[in-house]
Amino acid sequence: MDLRYSEAELAFAAEVRAFFANDYPQDILAKRRRGQSLAKSDLQRSERALSDRGWLAANWPPEHGGTGWSVTEKYLFDEELERAGAAPIVPMGVIYVAPVLYTFGSEEQKRRFLPEILKANTFWAQGYSEPGAGSDLAGLECRADADGDDYIVNGSKTWTSQAHFADWIFCLVRTSREERKQQGITFLMIDMNTPGVEVHPIITIDGGHHLNTVSFENVRVPQSNRVGEEGKGWSYAKYLLTHERTSYAHIAGKKEQMRKLESCARETRDGRDTLWADPEFRRRYEAVAVELTTLEYTTLRTLAAVATGGAPGNESSILKVRSTEVAQAITELWLEAAGYLGVRAVPDRSDADWNGGRGGPFAPAWPVTSVADYFFTRAQSIYGGTNEIQKNVIAKQVLGLE
Ligand SMILES: Cc1cc2nc3c(=O)[nH]c(=O)nc-3n(C[C@H](O)[C@H](O)[C@H](O)COP(=O)(O)OP(=O)(O)OC[C@H]3O[C@@H](n4cnc5c(N)ncnc54)[C@H](O)[C@@H]3O)c2cc1C
Reported as a single tens digit per residue, the pLDDT across 283-339 is 999 999 999 999 988 887 777 776 676 656 777 888 889 999 999 999 999 998 888
Q: Give residue 359's region: left, alpha or beta (phi > 0; psi -120 to 50).
A: left
CATH 1.20.140.10 intervals, the chain: 248-398
Give the tens place of pLDDT for each residue, 9-48: 999 999 999 999 999 999 999 998 877 889 999 999 999 9
Contact 144, 188 (CB under 8 A): yes
Q: Give residue 203's region: left, alpha or beta (phi > 0; psi -120 to 50).
A: beta
Give mean pLDDT, residues 368-395.
Answer: 90
CATH 1.10.540.10 intervals, the chain: 7-89
pLDDT confidence of 397, banded at 50, 70, 90?
Answer: confident
Contact 326, 291 (CB under 8 A): yes
> What pLDDT does 24 receive?
98
Biggest CA-to-CA distance, the chain: 76
> What pLDDT does 242 receive?
72
CA pair distance 233, 185, nearest whole angstrom: 5
The CATH architecture to which 248-398 belongs is Up-down Bundle (1.20)
- Say what the alpha-carbon torsion angle 82, 86, 87, 91 is, to the nearest 10 degrees: -50
For 7-89, give the CATH class: mainly alpha
Q: Which of 47, 82, 244, 315 is catalytic?
A: 244
Per-residue pLDDT at 349 exceeds 80: no
Torsion angles phi and psi, residue 218, rounded to 5: 45, 50
CATH 2.40.110.10 intervals, the chain: 124-231
> What pLDDT does 365 receive?
64
Is the shortest distance between the CB of 182 and ligand 1 below 6 Å? no
Q: Which helix (H) or strand (E) holds 72?
A: helix 71-84
> What pLDDT does 274 receive?
86
Ligand 1 atom 1, closest CA:
379
Cα 154 to ligand 1 centroid, rounded to whole Å = 22
CA-angle at 337, arms to 333 and 341, nearest 5°:
175
> What pLDDT does 277 receive?
92
Give mean pLDDT, residues 366-391.
Answer: 88
pTM for the whole structure: 0.90
Is the shortest distance between the CB of 377 and ligand 1 below 6 Å? no
Contact 109, 26 (CB under 8 A): no
CATH number of 124-231: 2.40.110.10
Is the shortest distance between the CB of 171 and ligand 1 below 6 Å? no
Report the DSSP beta bridge partners of residue 222.
Answer: 150
Cα 130 to ligand 1 centroid, rounded to whole Å = 10
Residues near 151 by Cβ (< 8 Å), separated by ≥ 6?
A: 144, 145, 173, 175, 188, 220, 221, 222, 223, 226
Comparison of pLDDT for 303 and 166, the residue scoring more = 166
Give the tens place of pLDDT for each residue, 37-54: 899 999 999 999 999 999
Per-residue pLDDT at 353 exceeds 60: no
Cα 117 to ligand 1 centroid, rounded to whole Å = 27
Cα 289 to ligand 1 centroid, rounded to whole Å = 28
> What pLDDT does 2 receive?
58
From 123, 128, 135, give the residue whose CB has the most ligand 1 atoms within 8 Å, as the site to mutate.
Answer: 135
Dihedral sign, CA of 325, 293, 295, 400?
negative
Per-residue pLDDT at 249 exceeds 70: yes
Give the tens place of pLDDT for each residue, 62-73: 999 999 898 889
Burial 2-40 (b: 16+ CB within 10 A, else e): eeeeeeeeeebbeebbebbeeebeeebbebbbbbeebee
> What pLDDT does 352 receive?
44
> What pLDDT does 346 receive?
45
> What pLDDT does 3 receive?
64
Q: Are strands 197-203 and 185-191 parallel, antiparallel or unpaired?
A: unpaired
Ligand 1 atom 52, closest CA:
383
> What pLDDT does 297 receive?
87
Most confident of 156-165, 291-300, 367-376, 393-402: 156-165
Give the tens place of pLDDT for each residue, 74-86: 888 998 999 999 9
Give mean pLDDT, residues 172-184.
Answer: 93
Q: Which atom of ligand 1 is nearest to the CA of 210?
A: 1
Instruction: Please compute Rg for the chain using Cα positions.
Output: 22
244 is catalytic: yes
